Chain A
Amino acid sequence: MSLDLVQLVLVTVVTAATPLFLAALGELVAERSGVLNLGVEGMMVMGAACAFAAAYLTGSTLVGALAGVAVGALMALLFGLLTVVFAVSQVAAGLALTIFGLGLSGLVGSGFVGLKREAAPHLFIPGLTDLPLVGHLVFGEDAFVYAAILLAFAVSRVLRRTRAGLVLRAVGDNHASAHALGVPVLRVRLLAVLFGGACAGLGGAYLSLSYTPFWAPEMTAGRGWIALALVVFASWRPWRALAGAILFGGATVLQLQAQASGLGLPGQLMSSVPYLVTLLALVVLSLRRGSGSVAPAMLGTAFVPDR
């Protein structure tokens, strides 16, 4: 295999990993605050539909990306109202958000099926991008990839090194104590959920603006759910989520490559690889974790302050 081919495969892996990573990073923050949002798939698919629609109408990828972020956050706001303020079951509300998002995205996108756009531009620095093996990989990605990396730095730093991160983790690990210490539990959770929604929307926008620059109904194809599994896989740590996203993105690329090379395996078997890898990852993880769970202690439980 030539160096160029290796690079091409690696770049494709990064492209496949980016939407998963963006969605997982947002959900990770939400879950650290104790809120399990199963609506990632719905927020992502809405982000994809609205981002494509906005970008197509305005001709601007940036506007598209912002629309994706805004829609993701808006849906997260609905979810936050239900689960954080009204203490509705997070599992049920998340499912509702996904069902709602899949339907509404079909409506929003119905006028845009079959239309195409230019993919988001890739960085090009003469000299650096031409370097063999690493050129395109390091210096030739699109803006979303760099934004995702920056976001990972920011989230990791905020979680580990700042007061805001400490407060967030405290709310996720023991909301009653945090409340007693005067932390505005509900507000922290709402903000974390909003951030998660914005990230999921951005991940969806990546799908319809860069990964495959068109809109197709239900084009997320379960990526939101895989992102949720990624958070568990990463034991709620940002950098591990990045590693996991590359692994899962790799599985997707492997499946496409194997199909193209005509291995003689049924295409459906190869298509199910990412889902089977996810399942396997969940199993391996529980084996390794043993008895003590590393999940935020309050994950999935609503907080109703008593005065």
Chain B
Amino acid sequence: MTTTTEVAAGRATRAPEDRRAARRRRWLLEVGWKYLLAVVVIFYAIFPLVYVLSASLNPYGTLAASNALFSVIDVSNYAALGETRFWTWAGNTLLIGGIAAVGAVLMGAAAAYAFSRFRFSGRRAGLTGLLIIQMFPQALAFVAIFLMLLALGEVVPVLGLNSKIALICVYLGGALGVNTFLMYGFFNTVPIEIDESAKIDGATHAQIFWRLIIPLVTPILAVVALLAFIAAFGDYIIAKIVLVSEENWTLAVGMYQWVSNQLASNWGLFAAGAVIAAIPVLVLFLSLQRYIVGGLTAGSVKG
């Protein structure tokens, strides 16, 4: 009698503990290990970024000295950037990328509007043509770009070699193919009844385009602008052959020169420049992340 009550009482007190332990074990087995793995993945993902931040704060500026992470903290590398052409290059990159992005958005949006809203002969052929053209990367034809700009420069110097305008034009040449499809799909999701009711109210095509459609498709415009900017930002091969003189270089061309020439001694400069250049892109990317994922899955990849 007493034993059974003892056992029962014991079970009553021990059972919740058992259950809690079992639940904890299950949690560890099914969920908890994911946190442990996450630590490993995060280390893998951000170690290089932490390293470059640390190197940028290391006043010795050499590769060897940068290995002791955060042993010294000093902003002299950032100050030293002022004595180089870094800010000129950053300005060039911003200018070239900015104009290329705006141009790509305007031309892509206009083309997508035409394909989405008008029915005209050659429309399907045009869309198919764009689809095919966009599959051939411009970078593969850099020899022809070089020779063409060489010849064009004799006629119109602003469109020749070593001209930022010429580089922007080359980038805009690729704008229609890559972006029209991305935008075309999005434009199609805007109901055509909106256009029709506006037309009945007496709006012209241009008014419908600028006042009605553009505000409704802003998210895709932002994505295309960012992708075009990042493409121009990251391009090396075309920028390198078009921009000859050092004061016209973009960041990609200039920073490559730092690291390839005297890797060991310019490391601090490179690290500081990388941090400065990456932060705006990182912030933009993370804040537009939601839209970008949609854009990326529609066919574009990292460039």
Do these two chains interact?
Answer: no
Interfacial residues, chain B to chain A (CB-CB below 8 A): none
